[in-house]
Amino acid sequence: MSSIVVFRVGETYFGLETSFVRAITKDIAWTGNDVVEYLGQKIGVVDFLKKRTEKRQETDFIVVICKNKECVIPVDEVKDIFQAVEKDIVPIPPFAAKGMKKNFFRGVFPINNALVLLLNVRRF
């Protein structure tokens, strides 16, 4: 069983294993298109909306450890932490990851009448 933090970007729900999450914060400053500053360090951004038009102060950020470095995911809403059993994670249906790189995902699992795309941060 894994603890998964579930968050929303646009209309899509994503999940990350909590073991890869360093922080959830608003305390990040945009320094460029794909770079932010967090705790005095410049960190790359993984933005699922591609070109986020608004860099709002109320945006939440999830700081993630991926490939022995940190990256930041801007999110619209952090829902909660859920428990997922490996048998509940199934391959992604083609419609669920339309326009996204499928190798970013481990699979999909249901929560509260929604499908959550489980991210594979080892592929970022």
Q: Quote the pLDDT of residue 97.
A: 61
Q: Quote the pLDDT of residue 80.
A: 93
Q: Quote the pLDDT of residue 121.
A: 84
**Strand ranges in the chain using DSSP code E only, listed in sequence order:** 2-9, 12-17, 21-25, 29-32, 35-38, 41-45, 60-66, 69-75, 77-84, 105-111, 114-119
Q: Quote the pLDDT of residue 81.
A: 94
pLDDT per position as a tens digit, 74-84: 999 999 999 98
Measure the CA–CA gap between 82 and 107, rounded to whole angstroms. 15
Q: Quote the pLDDT of residue 54.
A: 54
Q: What is the CATH number of the domain that holds 67?
A: 2.30.30.40
Question: Which structural domain range is residue 55 located in?
Answer: 2-123
Q: What percent of the chain has pLDDT over 70?
A: 84
- Predicted TM-score (pTM) of this structure: 0.84
Amino acid 44 reads G
Contact assessment for residue 86 and residue 69, using Cβ atoms and an 8 Å cutoff: no
Q: For residue 43, what are the β-bridge partners?
A: 36
pLDDT at residue 90 tops 60: yes
Task: Report the domain count for the chain.
Answer: 1
